[in-house]
Amino acid sequence: MFRLPVRVYWEDTDAGGVVFYANYLRFFERARTEWLRSRGHLQERWRRESGIGFVVTDTSVRYRCPARLDDLLDVTVAVAHAGQASFSVAQQAWRSDASGHPQLLVEGTIRIGCVALGTFKPCRIPSAILDSIR
Amino acid sequence: MFRLPVRVYWEDTDAGGVVFYANYLRFFERARTEWLRSRGHLQERWRRESGIGFVVTDTSVRYRCPARLDDLLDVTVAVAHAGQASFSVAQQAWRSDASGHPQLLVEGTIRIGCVALGTFKPCRIPSAILDSIR
Amino acid sequence: MFRLPVRVYWEDTDAGGVVFYANYLRFFERARTEWLRSRGHLQERWRRESGIGFVVTDTSVRYRCPARLDDLLDVTVAVAHAGQASFSVAQQAWRSDASGHPQLLVEGTIRIGCVALGTFKPCRIPSAILDSIR
Amino acid sequence: MFRLPVRVYWEDTDAGGVVFYANYLRFFERARTEWLRSRGHLQERWRRESGIGFVVTDTSVRYRCPARLDDLLDVTVAVAHAGQASFSVAQQAWRSDASGHPQLLVEGTIRIGCVALGTFKPCRIPSAILDSIR
């Protein structure tokens, strides 16, 4: 399972004193990007070289416990399903509590589709990518 | 059904040339806030006066079609379920196509819990609010 | 002087309980976009039709007093200088206090350059636009 | 001089294909937070323990060259001035070009005031902090 540490900054919080829930989608995306990078896939290069891109088609997120300013989160990525033109990842955000036990804060499933840039029409995931995420 | 017009600005877009998907959660929240305001409920006042607040506990969103810079969206709110300590709303973002037909771009369900501020412990939704959203 | 009302939502605030300072640049940009639209200029159309775009080259902002959740701001735009390839606008965010007197919260100057898309090289502002903003 | 590496993700970009200019204020703040942390100062702890906080009072930023998706930036912090109740830092965002030479993308000066939380009234910077940033 891939893990990315994510620090909570002022920009991530809201007037409730906690991380604004929509921002976990940003944290999840950073983790997916670094997970792909760790497998040698750079999204910007695909876009330029092959004219395809990945778009988020579905997100389902459950917010269990709030994170706060200065928290250090551990954001995970695990492939849940990989098809011909889309794949789904299960993602979680964890934080260690005062005694060092990991606590699950937020979890979700993100479905990503492969599309032709410009038209946003679905297309096959390149086999080099599909092989490495399966 | 409540409707809020939302204009797409530069801040809402990403390098794919379309609205960054996480931002629909912001659009949906603006619509919920104005929907509550239209029923006489100001979130900031509750927080100060009663020590309770609303937090998003679950979001489920499907992205069908991308919106672009300068688009004018129509964001809707409809109550799907209202319980003692939480309620769910169905929300959609629409845009008129070139011939004026409305096109559904994004739809989702947002579950909101009522909590005591500070502890984030669930509590009953004040009856004044519950009556007006049911 | 052009004015745009801007409501403060959860997304705009931070854990200090006030609007996150970087977000005034978003509010200022919304006002500039609507100011240009009120003069018949749509940025997305220029981009497609003429291959030019406007980019922010300098921002200078002073934060005098914080805004809070649910506040209704009045964001202004006034041309400070218009040259061949760039122009500057003075912008302010105001809020009425409890007795109805307007209070200046934030003020700044934003310099905008006209560039060729793709290369980001400076180019002349189209005369139709320059005439209408002078 | 303190340096923080900052990766550019989708969330940071706009439809122009580059980093949205307001987001450099977020990058600069992350660097200031880590710079303070490297000197043993945690903003969240001060807030809880001493009732004081730091607020940004002035920002002046020049945008020289755009950053793009997947770029790795080097964001710097250097104290420009430290007074009794405020201090200013000079900040820059750099990126290495194709031949490895650093290129200055964005630079700015951020003035930060020390305030009592709640009232936002100016107050003296605690000497422990002032000593370590001078």
CATH code for position D87? 3.10.129.10
What's the start-to-end Cα distance of chain B, in Å? 12
Compute φ and ψ for A65, nearest 5 degrees.
-155, 135
Q: How far is D131 from chain C (nearest CA, A)?
A: 25
A58–B62 CB contact, under 8 Å = yes
Tokens read off for A117: 């840039």
For residue D22, the 8-state DSSP code is T
Mean local confidence (pLDDT), C67-71? 94
Minimum Cα–Cα distance from D31: chain A residue = A9
Length of chain C counted residue by residue: 134
Q: Which B residues in the span 95-134 are in contact with C, Cβ-Cβ below 8 Å?
A: none
In sequence order, what are the residues at sequence separation of 6 or more whose Cβ sits closer than 8 angstroms to the Cβ of residue A7? A70, A71, A72, A73, D30, D33, D34
Whether B62 has its CB under 8 Å from any CB of chain A: the answer is yes
- Alpha carbon D9 to its chain centroid, in Å, reads 18
Average pLDDT estimate for D116-129:
90
Tell me what the mean pLDDT of segment D60-76 comes to: 96
The pLDDT tens digits for A32-48 are 999 999 998 887 788 88
E strand intervals along C41-101: 52-63, 72-82, 86-96
| Structural domains in chain C (count) | 1
Chain A contact for C13 (CB, 8 A cutoff):
yes
| Mean pLDDT of the region A122-130 | 91
* Alpha carbon distances (Å) from C75 to A72, C20, C58, C111, D28: 36, 16, 19, 17, 25
Q: What is the mean pLDDT of residues D60-73?
A: 96
How many pairs of residues across B and C have Cβ atoms under 8 Å apart? 38
* pTM beyond cutoff 0.90: yes
Give D20's contacts in chain B (Cβ within 8 Å): 10-11
pLDDT level of residue A5 (50, 70, 90 thresholds) = very high
Predicted local confidence at residue D118, as pLDDT? 79
The residue segments making up the domain with residue A48 are 2-133
**pLDDT for res D24:** 98
Q: Which two tokens stand for residue C12?
A: 């705009």
- Which is nearest to A58 in space by CA: A93, A91, A88, A97? A88
Could you give the count of Cα atoms lying within 13 Å of B29 in the half-sphere of its Cβ?
23
The one catalytic residue among C12, C14, C58, C74: C14
pLDDT of residue B134: 83
Give the pLDDT band (50/70/90) at residue A128. confident
Q: What confidence category does residue B128 fall into, taking pLDDT thresholds of 50, 70 and 90?
A: confident
pLDDT of residue D134: 83
Determine the average pLDDT of the residues in C20-45: 94
Residue B58 and residue A53: Cβ atoms within 8 Å? no
pLDDT at residue B21 greater than cutoff 80: yes
Q: Give B23 to chain A, closest Cα distance, Å.
A: 8
Beta-carbon separation of C53 and D22 below 8 A: no
Q: What is the model's pLDDT at position C111?
A: 98
pLDDT of C107: 98
Rg (CA), chain D: 16
Question: How many interchain CB pairs under 8 A, C with D?
Answer: 58
Residue B52 sits at the chain A interface (C-beta within 8 Å): no
